[in-house]
């Protein structure tokens, strides 16, 4: 069975929850995105010698992003959070602290205003109710706390060309069973996609002040096009991945 076939079969049987519990469904994105995001967070927090901060990696998946960030956040307290038991089992091999938690149905297992920063990497595009998710993240962050959010860009440079050609954009999905009408072969469960402008407006409306919006490359771009993809990062609105830094108001 291909990963897409396995994931689609699971989705048909049990819906979105079982879909994300399927080990064949990707739970990590590329290292270049993780490194760029980690550098942004490290610059925002400063060294631990100036004060140890609590960083919550919400939707940590298999812990790859947190493990990539850990050397840059030395001394700070990094906690991975996910509701997928399979993902948490894998995360425990990469990061010392990984616990089960949800953004809905009772909320995260943290006190109000207990976190200094939240990593929210490649999660928001999978959510049925992103508004409630941002409300819960805002609850657990202290005033002035940092939100580091990354998500695929609907208006990535190649998606603009694909739409002009009448082709479904990369990152978008019309089914949990198979890929239809776009490049790629893996179903990953994207429900919502953002442009740079939409992401700014959404985060601002949720009670955050946007500090910076940057771009990152996508590991799935064909190798001959990767230099162009890296160049596009200079214009975040056209980059493959959007990296947003905001602070809780």
CA 120 to chain centroid, in Å, comes to 5
Span 9-48, pLDDT tens digits? 444 445 666 665 665 655 555 688 999 999 999 999 999 9
pLDDT at residue 32, as a whole number: 85
Q: How far apart are CA 247 and CA 146, in angstroms?
A: 5
pLDDT at residue 106, as a whole number: 79
pLDDT at residue 15, as a whole number: 62
Nearest to 61 by CA among 88, 22, 97: 88
Span 50-68, pLDDT tens digits? 999 999 999 999 999 999 9
Q: Burial-class residue 13 by CB neighbours within 10 Å (0-12, 13-18, 19+).
A: exposed
Is residue 231's pLDDT more than 80? Answer: yes
Compute the Cα dihedral for 59, 62, 65, 70 and give only its sign. positive
Q: How far apart are CA 135 and CA 228, in angstroms?
A: 36
pLDDT at residue 28, as a whole number: 57
pLDDT at residue 16, as a whole number: 63
The answer to whether 242 touches 212, Cβ cutoff 8 Å, is no
Is residue 174's pLDDT more than 60? Answer: yes
Span 55-107, pLDDT tens digits? 999 999 999 999 999 999 999 999 999 988 888 999 999 999 999 999 987 79
Is residue 205's pLDDT more than 80? Answer: yes
CA distances from 77 to 57, 66, 97 (A): 11, 11, 9
* Phi-psi sector, 183: left (phi>0), alpha (psi -120 to 50), beta: beta
Q: What number of CA atoms fall less than 13 Å from residue 224's CA on the CB side?
A: 0
Helix or strand run (H / E) with residue 64: helix 64-69
151: which strand partners?
A: 242
The answer to whether 17 touches 185, Cβ cutoff 8 Å, is no
Span 126-167, pLDDT tens digits? 999 999 999 999 999 999 999 999 999 999 999 999 999 999
148: which strand partners?
A: 119, 245
Phi, psi of 84 (to 5 degrees): -80, 115
């Amino acid at each position: 069975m291909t990963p897409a076939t396995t994931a689609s079969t699971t989705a048909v049987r049990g819906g979105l929850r079982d879909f994300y519990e399927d080990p064949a469904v990707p739970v990590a994105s590329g290292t270049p995105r993780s490194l760029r995001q980690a550098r942004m967070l490290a610059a925002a927090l400063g060294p631990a010698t100036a004060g140890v901060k609590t960083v919550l990696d919400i939707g940590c998946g298999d812990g790859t992003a947190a493990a990539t960030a850990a050397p840059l956040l030395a001394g700070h307290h990094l906690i991975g959070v996910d509701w997928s038991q399979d993902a948490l089992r894998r995360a425990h091999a990469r990061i010392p602290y990984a616990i089960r938690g949800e953004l809905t149905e009772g909320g995260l297992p943290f006190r109000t205003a207990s976190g200094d920063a939240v990593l929210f990497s490649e999660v928001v595009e999978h959510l049925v109710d992103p508004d409630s998710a941002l409300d819960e993240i805002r609850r657990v962050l202290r005033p002035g706390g940092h939100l580091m959010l990354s998500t695929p860009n609907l208006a990535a440079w190649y998606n603009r060309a694909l739409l002009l050609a009448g082709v479904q954009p990369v990152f978008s999905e019309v089914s949990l069973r198979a890929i239809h009408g776009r490049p790629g072969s893996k179903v990953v469960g994207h429900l919502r996609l953002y442009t740079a402008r939409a992401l700014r407006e959404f985060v601002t409306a949720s009670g955050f002040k946007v500090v910076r919006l940057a771009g990152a490359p996508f590991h799935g771009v064909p190798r001959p096009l990767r230099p162009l993809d890296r160049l596009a990062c200079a214009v975040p609105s056209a980059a493959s991945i959007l990296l947003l830094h905001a602070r809780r108001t």
